[in-house]
């Protein structure tokens, strides 16, 4: 398939923590681009465009709540993007924004997140891993090929009239690139590394690669429960992920060097 000349799309693949948004904003300020694709549900598309045109962030959040575009608490679902959204508004960046995340995929993610939280509570109380229930909710997220293709088609359609485009994505962005690079020049920039997947994220990826044994499921779920109860609950998600990454990637140069500088 021929690549359209002159059209370019940069994929910024960021770790799923709010701190990464600061680095994303700093990077965006150094780039010239015409459209920005955000990995937020498509239902937010029109409202985000209204917000960028002149709405205060607090009013934007209340409008999201009023229209029931995100589950409660709305602030927690937007936390990862708050700094970026505020910067788009306050810096007055003239750029067309699009929210490209498939709504069905977001609804599924929301459902899985809620059900996983309930299972963590149940299994931490009983001391037993509900293997069948975990497999049921996680299997629903494994096959995302059709969803990625729909998101890529949406990005291609909406970016048609722009030569310089930037798309912010999670680590699934590498799958998006496979479709996008067939139609336009693409490049990738990773931000917010090093980052180590949480136990549940590792389990999902193991399941994508093939059948996972019951023992493996139990192992990762127990690690996930421990991660939630011993790190997320007492320290908050941001600090928990940071500590988890330092613990599991202690050998990484950027982490080991910082540890040395602390002494």
**Phi-psi domain of 94 (left: phi exceeds 0; alpha: psi -120 through 50; beta: other):** beta
DSSP conformational letter for 2: P
**What pLDDT, on the 0 to 100 scale, is given for residue 259?**
47
CA 166 to chain centroid: 16
**What pLDDT, on the 0 to 100 scale, is given for residue 210?**
77
Kindly state the helix (H) or strand (E) to which residue 127 belongs, with its residue range.
none
CA dist 101 and 144 (Å) reads: 12
**What pLDDT, on the 0 to 100 scale, is given for residue 2?**
45
Full-model pTM: 0.85
CA dist 149 and 209 (Å) reads: 19
CA dist 71 and 64 (Å) reads: 9
CA dist 4 and 7 (Å) reads: 6
**What pLDDT, on the 0 to 100 scale, is given for residue 251?**
65
Task: Tell me the angle at which helices 45-54 and 74-90 cross, rounded to the nearest 10 degrees.
Answer: 40
**What pLDDT, on the 0 to 100 scale, is given for residue 256?**
53
**What pLDDT, on the 0 to 100 scale, is given for residue 257?**
56
**What pLDDT, on the 0 to 100 scale, is given for residue 90?**
64
**What pLDDT, on the 0 to 100 scale, is given for residue 244?**
86
CA dist 82 and 78 (Å) reads: 6
**What pLDDT, on the 0 to 100 scale, is given for residue 91?**
56
Task: Write out residues in the chain with pLDDT < 70, as ranges.
Answer: 1-6, 90-93, 141-144, 250-251, 254-263
CA dist 79 and 70 (Å) reads: 12
**What pLDDT, on the 0 to 100 scale, is given for residue 143?**
64
């Amino acid at each position: 398939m021929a690549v359209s000349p002159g059209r370019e799309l940069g994929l910024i693949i960021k770790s799923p923590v709010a701190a990464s948004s600061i680095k994303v904003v700093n990077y965006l300020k150094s780039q010239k681009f015409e459209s920005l694709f955000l990995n937020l549900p498509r239902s937010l598309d029109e409202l985000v465009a209204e917000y960028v045109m002149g709405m205060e962030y607090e009013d934007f959040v209340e409008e999201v709540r009023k229209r029931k575009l995100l589950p409660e608490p709305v602030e927690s679902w937007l936390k990862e993007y708050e700094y970026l959204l505020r910067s788009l508004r306050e810096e007055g960046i003239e750029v067309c924004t699009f929210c490209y995340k498939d709504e069905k995929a977001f609804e599924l993610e929301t459902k899985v997140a809620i059900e996983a939280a309930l299972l963590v509570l149940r299994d931490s109380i009983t001391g037993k891993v509900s293997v069948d229930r975990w497999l049921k909710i996680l299997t629903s997220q494994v096959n995302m090929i059709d969803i990625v293709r729909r998101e890529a088609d949406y990005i291609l359609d909406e970016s048609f009239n722009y030569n310089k485009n930037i798309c912010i994505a999670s680590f699934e962005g590498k799958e998006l690139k496979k479709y996008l690079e067939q139609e336009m020049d693409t490049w990738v920039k990773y931000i917010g590394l090093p980052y180590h997947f949480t136990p549940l994220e590792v389990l999902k990826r193991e399941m994508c690669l093939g059948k996972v044994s019951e023992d493996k499921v139990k192992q990762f779920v127990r690690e996930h429960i421990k991660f939630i109860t011993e790190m997320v609950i007492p320290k908050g998600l941001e600090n928990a992920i940071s500590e988890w990454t330092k613990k599991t990637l202690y050998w990484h140069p950027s982490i080991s060097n910082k540890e040395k500088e602390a002494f």
